Chains A and B, each alone.
Chain A
Amino acid sequence: MIPVLFFLAAAATLAGALGVVLARNPVHAALFLVQTLIAVAVLFLLQDAELVAAVQVIVYASAIVVLFLFVIMLLGVDRAESMEDRVPYQRPAAIALGIILLVELLVLAGHEWATGQPTASGVPLEGGGFGGNVERVARVLFTDFLWAFEITSVLLVIAVVGAVVLARRSGQKGAPIDAAEVADAADATDGDDAGAAEEARV
């Protein structure tokens, strides 16, 4: 039963990952990303990581992807991207480098000469398990990693403040968002485009 589940989830993960890379439309890419994230959550469950699986679905597959979709809808970037390479042979070179990276990772996963220590590969994962996963994770998180946990809150505050500062329209110091501004932003789509693009080329 567990091997069947593993291979189903692995196939869904890989198909979703390929979909993210190959989909022309960013909305489709985001939906493929959801497929990958949920399949990875299933893989977490198969490894007795219930809490991480739940957080994966709640935070990653919901909140972060909704943020992505929100920005895609807000900006309307669902037009096709240009397929021409600025750097010649960029795509074949990228694929060749990817194959080299994959071989390298697979070699590292199975050997021990990277660190001198044997890797934990080949260890059977069924049976046993983390009894009381949430309690065990919480105990480590709030004792050994308490300082890192508190620092994390500072990081999140900095990220929120940074996002607000970046996303605010420049030239309007602290003015609340109103309907006229939104309409103005929609109008600006056409006029500035050609000029800005020309400027960028020069």
Chain B
Amino acid sequence: MTLAALEITSSYYLVLAAMVFTIGAVGVLTRRNVLVMFMCVELMLNAVNLSFVAFARALDDVTGQVIVFFVLVVAAAEVAVGLAIIVAIFRRRRHATADDLRALRG
């Protein structure tokens, strides 16, 4: 079977979303830089968005795409607050390494 004749089903998208989600999760666990950990969280959110859209297409129900909008809004709010926290930490500590931030007080 040639590539062009292959039928892309929703399973392809779900498998791809699972792989991206896993890469993001491993990134959060292994990286020490808080900013890169944040980007890995964005990767995980995007994997979930991808599977939402795949399910919306597979079930012919546009609600899945509406949920993606709300995920986008929450991601934007999270990035705004999270980056503000990183800036505030950086002002006091001069580094953004997750292991060094063990105390809640500044």
Interface residues of A (CB under 8 A from B): 1-4, 6-7, 10, 13-14, 17-18, 20-21, 23, 26, 29-30, 33, 36-37, 40, 43-44, 46-49, 51-52, 55-56, 59-60, 63-64, 67-68, 71-72, 74-75, 77, 81-82, 86, 90-91, 94-95, 97-99, 101-102, 105-106, 109-110, 119-126, 128, 130, 133, 136-137, 140-141, 144-145, 148, 152, 155-156, 158-160, 162-164, 166-167, 169, 185, 188-189, 192-193, 196-197, 200
Contacts and interface: CB of A to CB of B under 8 A. Distances in A.
A49 B27 contact: no
B96 to A, nearest CB: 5
Looking at A6, A71, A133, which has the most chain B CB atoms within 10 Å of its CB?
A71
Interface of B: 3-16, 18-27, 29-33, 35-36, 38-40, 42-43, 46, 49-50, 53-60, 62-63, 65-66, 68-70, 72-81, 83-88, 90-97, 99-100, 102-103
B65 to A, nearest CB: 5
Q: Is the interface of A mostly helix, strand, loop or mixed?
A: helix
7 contacts: A3-B3, A17-B20, A21-B27, A29-B39, A47-B57, A130-B57, A155-B74
Contact of B10 (A52, A122, A137, A167): A122
Contacts of B60: 128, 130
B102 A47 contact: no
Looking at A6, A18, A75, which has the most chain B CB atoms within 10 Å of its CB?
A75
A120 B59 contact: yes
Contacts of A155: 73-74, 77
A50 to B, nearest CB: 10
Contacts of A192: 92, 94
Q: Is the interface of B mostly helix, strand, loop or mixed?
A: helix
B34 to A, nearest CB: 8
